[in-house]
Amino acid sequence: MAITRVSKGFKDISLSFDMHPITKDILVLTNEVAIKKSIRNIIQTIPSERFFNPLFGSQIRPTLFEFIDFGTASILKSYVELAISNFESRVTDVEVEVTPYPDLNSFEIIVYFTIIGENTPKQTFTYILEAIR
């Protein structure tokens, strides 16, 4: 018999460290927004960038300087799926679509996921990945 988790909600602090205008506390991100920011953070982090967790992040950085085609998009897709499955335990049913745009020198990454323990519809996160000097 499978155990199902019931969530009371998710909270993360904002990495911008902005203050709440009334309480003067650090802003808090909740539920869907917190998880979307977490996924973005995972995608943008280079492994070995975090001192006490050198494996955290995704391997997408080296692929930014490859040809912008469907082969590289397939590699990016597998890197993003692996990073999310390794480091974001609050989501399930993760699907990733990567579309190359050679004229714009970029990739569009769309991540579909379901939040564990929440009765929300499937969430979507879109991220434009581009090589900038």
| Residue 7, SS3 per DSSP | coil
* Amino acid found at 40: R
pTM of this structure: 0.78
Please give the pLDDT value at position 107: 92
**Is 6 a domain residue?**
no
Number of domains in the chain: 1
**Is 91 a domain residue?**
yes
Range of the domain at 54: 11-130
- What is the pLDDT averaged over residues 5-13? 63
**Is 2 a domain residue?**
no
**Is 89 a domain residue?**
yes
- C-alpha 33/C-alpha 125 separation (Å) is 10
Please give the pLDDT value at position 121: 87
- C-alpha 39/C-alpha 83 separation (Å) is 9
The model's pLDDT over 87-127, given as tens digits with 9 standing for 90+, comes to: 988 888 999 999 999 888 899 999 999 888 778 889 899 99
**Is 60 a domain residue?**
yes
The model's pLDDT over 55-73, given as tens digits with 9 standing for 90+, comes to: 898 988 888 888 888 999 9
**Is 1 a domain residue?**
no
Please give the pLDDT value at position 29: 67
**Is 52 a domain residue?**
yes
CA-based angle 124:126:127, to the nearest 5?
A: 150
Specify the CATH number for the domain of residue 106: 3.10.450.40
Alpha-carbon separation of residue 54 from 22, 43, 77 (angstroms): 37, 14, 21
**Is 18 a domain residue?**
yes
